[in-house]
Amino acid sequence: MTVKVRRVKLSDKLDGDCQHQGKHFLIRINRKFPEYYAIEVFLHEWAHVLAWDETKDAHCDEWGKAYSKVYRMFLDNFFKDE
């Protein structure tokens, strides 16, 4: 699975999105956000990649579990010395 990540100009109403494009995914993050918030959006969208199922709601239980795992991994790896 290939995942491309881009910071792009998006509508003020959109923080980011995840698109399934054939054999890869594209995560787009609104470039107006500071880095710390862009990371939050990235983690949210990465969970969509992990739980992708076109037949289910975007924020289904599988997404929630994936988001929890992604966020925990982020915290464990980037804040383990604090």
Model pLDDT, residue 57: 86
- Neighbouring CB atoms inside 10 A of 29's CB total 23
Structure tokens at 23: 């054999």
Structure tokens at 28: 């787009």
Model pLDDT, residue 54: 78
Amino acid in position 22:
G
Question: Edge-to-edge strands of the sheet including 24-30?
Answer: 2-8, 24-30, 16-21
Model pLDDT, residue 56: 81
Main-chain phi, psi angles of 54, to 5 degrees:
-65, -15
Per-residue pLDDT of 6-64, as tens digits, reads: 999 999 999 999 999 989 999 999 999 999 999 999 999 999 999 998 778 889 999 99
